[in-house]
Amino acid sequence: MARLGTALVPLLVLLVPLAPALADRCPGGELACPEPSVCCRTDSPQQPFICCPYRNGVCCGDGRHCCREGFTCDLSTSRCVKQPPEPGLCPDGKSRCPPEATCCPLADHRWGCCPYARAVCCSDKVHCCPEGTQCDLQTLTCLKKSEHPMMQFADTDMKGTEGHIGLHA
């Protein structure tokens, strides 16, 4: 495994043919990949399939490597790269904000949309500040080199609203 920031990123796994076992057979029926492996197609006519050892693994385009589910193959660096989250999708997997907004948790365990991109969500769970600033809840401002008005985020349940809803506190 390689360290990328604070997260460990698995390196590409070299695929190896496995002996047939009690499992589903790959197309053509010559190879069976044992659970939780998946079949990956190769470019070799002598060995058209090999097994990826990961459950729901992603077969790489070179026909020799695979990555875990949720990762893509970066063959130029021989690494598996975590797929970015879907733009605008909040961590609950249901609520959405405009792509240029940031999802922030609300006090009632729902999600709100801060109109700032990559915003700082304030601890009061009502306000947010631009990236690179911090919340000053006493003065209701965002502190850094310049001052920005603190914004109140819009509820993700609001339908049909255009643009950003920013309420100055």
User: pLDDT band at residue 140, thresholds of 50, 70 and 90?
Assistant: very high
| Bridge partners of residue 134, in order along the sequence | 143
- Are 52 and 106 found together in one domain? no
pLDDT for the residue 41: 83
Q: What is the pTM of this model?
A: 0.40
Using CB atoms within 10 Å of the CB of residue 163, give its burial: 0 to 12 exposed, 13 to 18 middle, 19+ buried. exposed
List, as one string, the DSSP characters of 138-152: TTTEEESSS-EE-EE
Q: Decide if 89 is inside a domain.
A: no
Q: Which one of 53, 82, 111 terminates a domain?
A: 82
Residues in contact with 121: Cβ distance below 8 Å, sequence separation at least 6, in sequence order: 102, 104, 105, 114, 128
Q: Decide if 97 is inside a domain.
A: no
Q: Decide if 88 is inside a domain.
A: no
Q: Decide if 112 is inside a domain.
A: yes
Q: Tell me which residue range forms the domain holding 24.
A: 2-82
| Percent share of the chain, pLDDT over 90 | 12
Tens of pLDDT, residue by residue over 1-22, are 444 443 434 444 444 344 444 4
- Are 116 and 155 found together in one domain? yes
- Are 7 and 69 found together in one domain? yes
Q: Which one of 20, 53, 82 terminates a domain?
A: 82
